[in-house]
Amino acid sequence: MKKNSKIILITFFCTIFNFIGFNCGETGFKPIDSINKIFEFSNLQKNIIDIGNINYNQNIKNNKFIPSGELLGFVLDLNGALVVETSFVNTEFGTVKTNNFNKGDVIKKVNNKIINSNDDLANVIETSEGKDIHAEYDRDQTKLESTITPVKSTDGSYKIGIWVQDSVKFLGTNTFFNKDTHDFYALGHGFFNPCNEKLLKTKGGEIFPACCNSIKKSEKGSPGEIIGSLIGTNYIGKVLNNTNNGIHGKLNENFVNNIDIKNELEIASIDEIKIGKAQVLCTISKDGPRSFDIEITNINLNEKDSTKRISIEVCKELEKNTNGIVQGFSGSPLIQDRKIVGAITHVLVNDPKKGFASSAHETISTAK
Show me where the domains of the chain are located. Answer: 7-50+63-78+166-365
Give pLDDT, residue 324: 95
Average pLDDT (121-144) is 93
Least confident of 167-171, 214-218, 310-314: 167-171
Percent over 90 (pLDDT), the chain: 68
61-102 confidence digits (pLDDT tens): 668 999 999 999 999 998 899 999 998 998 888 888 888 899
Whether 35 has a pLDDT exceeding 60, the answer reads no
Give pLDDT, residue 203: 85
pLDDT band for 368, please (50, 70, 90 cuts). Answer: low
Whether 295 has a pLDDT exceeding 60, the answer reads yes
Give pLDDT, residue 38: 26
Whether 12 has a pLDDT exceeding 90, the answer reads no
Q: What is the CATH number of domain 7-50+63-78+166-365?
A: 2.40.10.120
Whether 250 has a pLDDT exceeding 60, the answer reads yes
Give pLDDT, residue 43: 26
The pTM assigned to this predicted structure is: 0.80
3-state secondary structure the chain: CCCCCCEEECCEEECCCEEECCCCCHHHCCCCCCCCCCCCCCCCHHHCCCHHHCCCCCCCCCCCEEECCCEEEEEEEEEEEEEEEECCEEECCEEECCCCCCCCCEEEEECCEECCCHHHHHHHHHCCCCCCEEEEEEECCEEEEEEECCEECCCCCEECCEEEEEEEEEEEEEEEECCCCCEEEECCCCCECCCCCCECCEEEEEEEEEEEEEEECCECCECCEEEEEECCCCCCEEEEEEECCEEEEEECHHHHHCCCCCCCEEECCHHHCCCEEEEEEEECCCCCEEEEEEEEEEECCCCCCHHHCEEEEECHHHHHHHCCCCECCCCCEEEECCEEEEEEEEEECCCCCEEEEEEHHHHHHCCC
Contacts (Cβ under 8 Å, ≥6 apart) of 53: none
Whether 254 has a pLDDT exceeding 80, the answer reads yes
Give pLDDT, residue 248: 97
Least confident of 11-20, 30-39, 60-69, 118-127: 30-39
Give pLDDT, residue 332: 97
Give pLDDT, residue 60: 64
Pairwise CA distance, residues 262 & 175, whole Å: 15
pLDDT band for 289, please (50, 70, 90 cuts). Answer: very high
156-204 confidence digits (pLDDT tens): 999 999 999 999 899 999 999 999 999 999 999 999 887 778 888 888 9
Give pLDDT, residue 325: 96
Identify the burial level of 224 via C-beta atoms within 10 angstroms of its C-beta, where 0-12 means exposed, 13-18 middle and 19 or more buried: buried
- Give the phi and the psi of residue 340 in degrees, each rounded to 5: -80, 120
Give pLDDT, residue 59: 61
Distance of CA 208 to the CA centre of its chain: 14
Percent over 70 (pLDDT), the chain: 83
Whether 50 has a pLDDT exceeding 70, the answer reads no
Q: What is the mean pLDDT of the chain?
A: 83
Identify the burial level of 199 via C-beta atoms within 10 angstroms of its C-beta, where 0-12 means exposed, 13-18 middle and 19 or more buried: middle
